[in-house]
Amino acid sequence: MSFKICTMGELLVEFLANKQNQRFDETGEFIGPFPSGAPAIFASQVAKLGFPVVFFSCVGKDAFGKMCIKRLKADGVITDGISTHNKANTGSAFVTYKGLNERDFIFNIPNSACGLLSFDHIDANLLKDCNHLHVMGSSLYSFRVIDAMRKALDIVKSNGGTISFDPNLRKEMFDIPEMEASFDYIIDYTDIFLPSESEVSYFASQSSESEQTTMTRLLNKGIKHIVVKCGADGARYYGKNELNNSYSLHLDSYKINAVDPTGAGDCFGATFVSLMLAGYDVELALRYANASGALAASKKGPMEGTSTLAELAQFIDSQNHSIKQ
> For the segment 241-298, what is each residue's pLDDT rounded down to a tens digit?
887 778 899 999 898 888 888 899 999 999 999 999 999 999 999 999 999 999 999 9
Instruction: Render pLDDT for 46-82 as a digit per residue (tens, 0 to 9).
Output: 999 999 999 999 999 999 999 999 999 999 999 999 9
pLDDT at res. 192: 98
Instruction: Render pLDDT for 209-245 as a digit per residue (tens, 0 to 9).
Output: 899 999 999 999 999 999 999 988 999 999 988 877 7
pLDDT at res. 322: 43
Measured CA to CA in angstroms, residue 46 lies from 3, 28, 51, 52, 124 at distances of 12, 35, 6, 7, 21
The region of weakest confidence among 117-121, 131-135, 317-321 is 317-321
- Residues 161 and 277: beta-carbon distance below 8 Å: no
User: Sorting pLDDT into bands at 50, 70 and 90, what band is 325?
Assistant: very low
Residues 6+ apart with CB under 8 A from 9: 37, 38, 39, 40, 56, 57, 114, 117, 136, 138, 139, 140, 145
Residue type (1 letter), 223: I
Domains of the chain, with CATH numbers? 5-10+39-90+119-324 (3.40.1190.20)
pLDDT at res. 110: 83
Instruction: Render pLDDT for 103-132 as a digit per residue (tens, 0 to 9).
Output: 888 888 888 999 999 999 999 999 999 999
- Cα–Cα distance for residue pair 253/234, rounded to 1 Å: 4
pLDDT at res. 242: 81
Residues 6+ apart with CB under 8 A from 297: 256, 258, 259, 260, 261, 264, 305
Instruction: Render pLDDT for 150-170 as a digit per residue (tens, 0 to 9).
Output: 999 999 999 999 999 999 886
**Strand, coil or helix: 101:** coil
**φ and ψ of 301, to 5 deg:** 115, 135
Question: For the whole model, what pTM was predicted?
Answer: 0.93
pLDDT at res. 187: 92
The DSSP bridge partners found for residue 6 are 54, 133
